Amino acid sequence: MKLSRRTFLKSSGVATAGLAVATAVPEKFLLWAEEAGLIKATYVPTFCEICFWKCGAIAKVLNGRVVKLDGNPVHGNSRGKLCARGNGGIGLLYDKDRLKSPLINVGKRGEGKYRKASWDEALGLVAEKMKGIKQQHGPEAMALFTHGAPTDHFLPLLSAYGTQNVGMPSFAQCRGPRDVGYELTFGEGPGSPERVDMINSKVIVLIGSHLGENMHNSQVQDFTEGLGRGAKLIVVDPRFSIAAGKAQQWLPIRPASDLALLLAWINIIITEGMYDRPYLDQFAEGFSDLAQAVSHCTPQWAEQETDIPAAQIMETARMMGQNAPAVTIHPGRHATWYGDDVQRSRALAILTALLGSWGRSGGLFMATKGSLTKGESKPFPEPGKEPLNTGGYPFAGAEGVTQAIREATISGAPYPIKGWFVSGTNLLKALPDQKRTLEAINKLDLLVVVDVMPMDTAMMADVILPECSYLERYDALAIGKGKSLSVSLRQPVIKPLYESQPGWWIAKELANRLDLADYFPWTTYEEKIKAQCVTAGISYDDLKKLGSLTIPDTAAPYITPENQPVFKTASGKIELSSKELKEKGFDPVPVYVRHPQPPEGFFRLTYGRSAVHTFSRTTNNPALNELYKENEVWINAKKAQALGLKNGEYVLLINQDGAKSNRIRVKATQRIREDMVYMVHGWGSTPKELSRSSLKGADDQGLVTRYAVDPIAGSTGMRVNFVKLQKEA
């Protein structure tokens, strides 16, 4: 039978716009209809939120249904390509398990009994409880935990409400100690995206950074491009990572001993005169203190600590010295390893400085000139009580020491914390010592979670507020600081599905109910963004069309006579020996302290990323789950054999405190040292509402009952737990 255009449209309902049609007509059919010339696609630029790299994406929409995502070619973080996770954004959008309407808990906390509620009722309830907490205990008794785009909406809301108790796992569980280490050395952090000029490097050094599994898009593109152009690669990792597979030098270091290796490298660079003397004379201070402090750190000494042969330590130091300054010492990103993480990061920064690589082609390039303002807002009230988010740690950042707020919630000291507002973070997975997180949650008068999926922490909430996915909303403009300044727009590709709503709308509606409407003086978020563009002199129309604009004349990546670096340290110079640390009673030059090694029969528990997943947030994603359905525990093949364990067999992991994991498959491999095991983080979620990932794989966080707090930044080193493997009964 031949279908005319009209009968086709009539019979399929394709011509009618809207949600019912979008879900009713199968995607295969839409694609056929497009090919047959019966319908036409629209293309809408936006940026990705499957991780925090914020890659520009272009969505192809057929009849109200998103059928494909591509990388935006003009966007610096994607350059026309998305990673697998970014492509999987459609999976999130159409995941049938999504949160669809506001939910109010009608059971005990954690029991998972919810009833549907209207937005009016749910928001009214949250506002009423927040008002009650403010009246009884003061606004500081509410804390915000947040990560990613929702922060731009809920941080202003909670600030306007009057609390500055804020915790973001991106600080104390991620890059906090790294940023502090670089700030103490150079006066600023290495940036996000990290300003690594790998594309021009002659030598790239990765210490733990498992690029290729850590799939930050443009960074992996630069890495492979740099290698393609002939850069030599040194990888320090106790596991033969994907990156190690590309390396000239793989250093399978004894876990937790990296600082010994770094101090030995520093010592060799100094004693062999391979440091950049004119650069240091001009820009740095503290050289002689540094030289003296590391003088005992010989390659032979480091060999004892690290298991890396002295000759290899020597050879790799020379590779760096001879190719300086075009050497990228990668600053890493997830730096919360062993509790001395600021000092390890300091060592990375010092090595970078000695090689003259900061501000040099092939090293770390300098920040862009200029910035864009976030737009004016009515000033927020001053807190009546000292915020708890630094946890009392002298160099903790404003992003907050999450676990300090958790501990205050449990103890009620120095003052009570009665309510948590959680957006864009799955605290039960992100924070170490899950039992403490549960204990704190059980003390609360109010737990509100804004999420897109029924994840572990959401399913503990009194009220769950369903945010629509990033493909269905506006968010704050993304200010990109690559070599040039750029600005990108997130705009809805389709209308929100179900009853979900954008974060900006939720925040504004709550503000109205909390008598804080003055802080949200616009009607739509697009109106706010347009005003911001006018102030910044950017064409909103161009931005809407292209998705991303590069601001001209903002690149100043390398040091030249006209482009001199500014170091915002105490001395205004690169601090090889840190005055600020010394003043606060810490070692001005990093000192290596040996960490405990696993007891007999135990393995150190380490963790990392899968290239096709982001933490827990994608585990249930239909597209990505298809690619990797559960994590596995890597164990050295010899050890597996000795334990009588076979590849693919299920085991339980039990840690030093008796915490037991869900079942997890064995991956017996020669690609890992004998003293450790390794797993991908984020698995083993418990909510049954996650139809694909519920109880699939094991949760590393459940085994991280101990953590080592960095005394400088308050961040939590989480690779300090030891586990044994038990066959599943």
Ligand X SMILES: Nc1nc2c(c(=O)[nH]1)N[C@H]1C(S)=C(S)[C@@H](COP(=O)(O)OP(=O)(O)OC[C@H]3O[C@@H](n4cnc5c(=O)[nH]c(N)nc54)[C@H](O)[C@@H]3O)O[C@H]1N2
The residues binding Mo ion (CB under 5 A) are 174, 334
Dihedral pair phi/psi, residue 431, rounded to 5°:
-95, 140
427 or 640, CB closer to Mo ion?
Answer: 427
210 or 573, CB closer to ligand X?
Answer: 210
Of the ranges 50-58, 354-362, 463-471, 531-539, which one interacts with ligand SF4 (CB under 6 A)?
50-58
Nearest to 608 by CA among 211, 159, 111: 211
CA Rg, the chain, in Å?
26
76 or 608, CB closer to Mo ion?
Answer: 608
425 binds ligand X, rule: CB under 6 A = yes
Closest separation between CB of residue 370 and ligand X, Å?
A: 27
Alpha-carbon gap, residue 542 to 544, rounded angstroms: 5
Alpha-carbon gap, residue 503 to 498, rounded angstroms: 15
- DSSP state letters, 224-248: HHHHHTT-EEEEE-SB--TTGGG-S
Q: Which of 22, 50, 206, 652 binds ligand SF4 (CB under 6 A)?
A: 50
Q: With CB cut-offs between 5 and 8 Å by kind, which of ligand X, Mo ion, ligand SF4, none does residue 55 bind?
A: ligand SF4
Question: Other CB atoms closer than 10 Å to residue 376's CB: what's the count?
Answer: 10
Which residue's beta carbon is nearest to the bound Mo ion?
174
- DSSP state letters, 694-719: TT-S--GGGG----EE-TTT--EE--
Q: Count of residues binding ligand SF4 (CB under 6 A)?
A: 13
DSSP 483: S
55 or 440, CB closer to ligand SF4?
Answer: 55
Closest separation between CB of residue 207 and ligand X, Å?
A: 5
Q: With CB cut-offs between 5 and 8 Å by kind, which of ligand SF4, ligand X, Mo ion, none does residue 617 bind?
A: ligand X
Alpha-carbon gap, residue 410 to 89, rounded angstroms: 37
Of the ranges 82-90, 116-124, 571-579, 646-654, which one interacts with ligand SF4 (CB under 6 A)?
82-90
Which residue's beta carbon is nearest to the bound ligand SF4?
86
582 or 671, CB closer to ligand X?
Answer: 671
252 or 565, CB closer to ligand X?
Answer: 252
Q: Which of 195, 216, 239, 246 binds ligand SF4 (CB under 6 A)?
A: 216
Closest separation between CB of residue 100 and ligand SF4, Å?
A: 24
Distance, first Cα to last Cα, the chain: 60
Closest separation between CB of residue 452 and ligand X, Å?
A: 5
448 binds ligand X, rule: CB under 6 A = no
Q: Which of 55, 149, 174, 455 binds ligand SF4 (CB under 6 A)?
A: 55
Closest separation between CB of residue 50 and ligand SF4, Å?
A: 4
Alpha-carbon gap, residue 310 to 114, rounded angstroms: 61
Q: With CB cut-offs between 5 and 8 Å by kind, which of ligand X, ligand SF4, Mo ion, none does residue 217 bind?
A: ligand SF4
Of the ranges 74-82, 399-407, 492-500, 698-706, which one interacts with ligand X (CB under 6 A)?
698-706
Closest separation between CB of residue 215 and ligand SF4, Å?
A: 6
The contacts of residue 414 (CB under 8 Å, 6+ apart) are 385, 386, 388, 408
DSSP 392: T
Of the ranges 186-194, 307-315, 426-434, 523-531, which one interacts with ligand X (CB under 6 A)?
426-434
> Are the C-beta atoms of residues 703 and 659 closer than 8 Å to each other?
yes
Closest separation between CB of residue 57 and ligand SF4, Å?
A: 7
Element (H, E) at 22: helix 19-24
Closest separation between CB of residue 339 and ligand SF4, Å?
A: 29
For the record, the structure tokens of 671 come out as 């690609």
Q: What separation in angstroms does the CA of 251 have from each of 425, 607, 672?
A: 34, 18, 12
Residue 228 CA neighbour count, 13 Å, CB half: 7
167 binds ligand X, rule: CB under 6 A = no
Element (H, E) at 486: strand 485-488
Q: Which of 215, 234, 367, 510 binds ligand X (CB under 6 A)?
A: 215
Query: Beta strand pairing status for 419-423 and 446-451?
Result: parallel
489 binds ligand SF4, rule: CB under 6 A = no
Q: Which of 75, 246, 344, 719 binds ligand X (CB under 6 A)?
A: 719
Q: What separation in angstroms does the CA of 699 have from each of 454, 569, 607, 649, 677?
A: 17, 40, 10, 17, 14
Q: How far is CA 111 from the centre of its chain?
A: 29
Alpha-carbon gap, residue 333 to 310, rounded angstroms: 27
Alpha-carbon gap, residue 505 to 60, rounded angstroms: 25
Alpha-carbon gap, residue 399 to 113, rounded angstroms: 33
Of the ranges 100-108, 214-222, 432-440, 495-503, which one interacts with ligand SF4 (CB under 6 A)?
214-222
718 binds ligand X, rule: CB under 6 A = yes
Closest separation between CB of residue 331 and Mo ion, Å?
A: 13
464 or 551, CB closer to ligand X?
Answer: 464
Q: Binding string, 122-161, against ligand X, x = CB under 6 A?
A: -------------------------x-xx-----------
129 or 617, CB closer to ligand X?
Answer: 617
Alpha-carbon gap, residue 654 to 648, rounded angstroms: 18
At CA 153, angle to CA 368 and CA 180, rounded to 5? 45
Dihedral pair phi/psi, residue 619, rounded to 5°:
-60, -30
Burial status of residue 2 (CB atoms within 10 A of its CB: 0-12, 13-18, 19 or more):
exposed
48 binds ligand SF4, rule: CB under 6 A = yes
Alpha-carbon gap, residue 400 to 48, rounded angstroms: 25
Q: With CB cut-offs between 5 and 8 Å by kind, which of ligand SF4, ligand X, Mo ion, none does residue 146 bind?
A: none
> Are the C-beta atoms of residues 85 and 216 closer than 8 Å to each other?
no
> Are the C-beta atoms of residues 463 and 130 closer than 8 Å to each other?
no
Tell the residue number behind the tokens 């999976």, with chain if given: 91
Restricting to residues 85-114, which ones interact with ligand X according to CB under 6 A? 85
Q: Binding string, 279-318, against ligand X, x = CB under 6 A?
A: ----------------------------------------
Nearest to 100 by CA among 448, 449, 452, 421: 452
Q: Which of 45, 76, 86, 176 binds ligand SF4 (CB under 6 A)?
A: 86
DSSP 364: B
85 binds ligand SF4, rule: CB under 6 A = yes
Closest separation between CB of residue 614 and ligand SF4, Å?
A: 6
Q: Which of 494, 700, 708, 713 binds ligand X (CB under 6 A)?
A: 700
Q: Which of 153, 216, 508, 573 binds ligand X (CB under 6 A)?
A: 216
Angle between helices 176-186 and 341-354 (to 10 degrees): 40
Q: Count of residues binding ligand X (CB under 6 A)?
A: 62
129 binds ligand SF4, rule: CB under 6 A = no
Q: Binding string, 242-261, against ligand X, x = CB under 6 A?
A: -----------x-xx-x---
Burial status of residue 177 (CB atoms within 10 A of its CB: 0-12, 13-18, 19 or more):
buried
Report the amino acid identity of residue 727: K
Closest separation between CB of residue 469 and ligand SF4, Å?
A: 13
82 binds ligand SF4, rule: CB under 6 A = yes
The binding site for ligand SF4 (CB under 6 A) comprises 48, 50-51, 53-55, 82-83, 85-86, 215-217
The binding site for ligand X (CB under 6 A) comprises 49, 51-52, 85, 147, 149-150, 169-170, 173-174, 207-210, 214-216, 236-239, 241, 253, 255-256, 258, 332-334, 337, 423-426, 429-430, 450-453, 455, 467, 470, 606-609, 611, 613-617, 678, 681-682, 700-701, 704, 718-719
